[in-house]
């Protein structure tokens, strides 16, 4: 029979080996210090179940078609939030004015203040009238 002095170190060695086997490192990851640098509880190390390019399943808003809203001479509704270009929602592109009411633009061509007449300028970039109204707006 083994002596008590010899059994205790062997028992401690066996116990230590048993506990060492409980870790999550494999032979490959134990030798590679970069294999296990993050922990599962680390939010930065978790991967998203969907890729950033996956389509969203947001409901399409019940907005009017853009071509039915944006007509020169028509009035832009005060409640305008956006329109649909086919199935694609187009949010209102608002320029905040110093006097409180925004100017809303669409397609680099149209602009209006909610509740007022829509201006069809062809190209807002080249429109002196639009530029004047923006200058007054932003004061």
Q: How far apart are CA 137 and CA 96, in angstroms?
A: 8
Q: For residue 44, is it within any domain? A: no
Helix or strand (DSSP H, E) at 89: strand 88-91
Q: For residue 124, is it within any domain? A: yes
87 in Cβ contact with 133 (< 8 Å): no
Looking at the 3D structure of the chain, how many domains does it have? 1
pLDDT of residue 58: 80
- Evaluate if residue 130 carries a pLDDT over 80: yes
Angle at 45 between CA 42 and CA 51, to 5 degrees: 135
Q: For residue 101, is it within any domain? A: yes
pLDDT of residue 94: 98
Q: For residue 76, is it within any domain? A: yes
Would the pTM of this model clear 0.75, i.e. be above it? no
Q: For residue 42, is it within any domain? A: no
116 in Cβ contact with 104 (< 8 Å): no
pLDDT of residue 6: 44
Output b/e per residue, 123-136; b: 16+ Cβ within 10 A: ebeebeebeebbee
112 in Cβ contact with 103 (< 8 Å): yes
Q: For residue 48, is it within any domain? A: no
pLDDT of residue 54: 52
Q: What is the pLDDT of residues 30-86, one digit of tens each?
A: 445 444 444 445 444 444 445 455 566 789 999 999 999 999 999 999 999 999 999
The residue segments making up the domain with residue 125 are 66-138
111 in Cβ contact with 105 (< 8 Å): yes
More confident residue, 112 or 26: 112
pLDDT of residue 8: 53
pLDDT of residue 25: 46
């Amino acid at each position: 029979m083994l002596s008590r002095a010899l059994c205790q170190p062997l028992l401690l060695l066996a116990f230590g080996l048993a506990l060492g086997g409980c870790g999550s490192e494999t032979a490959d990851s134990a030798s590679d210090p970069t294999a296990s640098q993050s922990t599962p509880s680390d939010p930065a190390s978790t991967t998203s179940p969907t890729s950033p390019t996956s389509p969203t399943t947001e409901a399409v808003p019940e907005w009017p078609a853009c071509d039915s809203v944006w007509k020169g001479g028509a009035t832009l509704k005060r409640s305008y939030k956006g329109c649909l270009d086919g199935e694609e929602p187009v949010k209102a592109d608002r320029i905040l004015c110093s006097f409180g009411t925004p100017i809303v633009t669409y397609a680099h061509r149209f602009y209006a203040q909610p509740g007022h007449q829509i201006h069809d300028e062809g190209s807002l970039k080249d429109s002196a009238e639009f530029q004047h109204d923006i200058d007054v707006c932003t004061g």
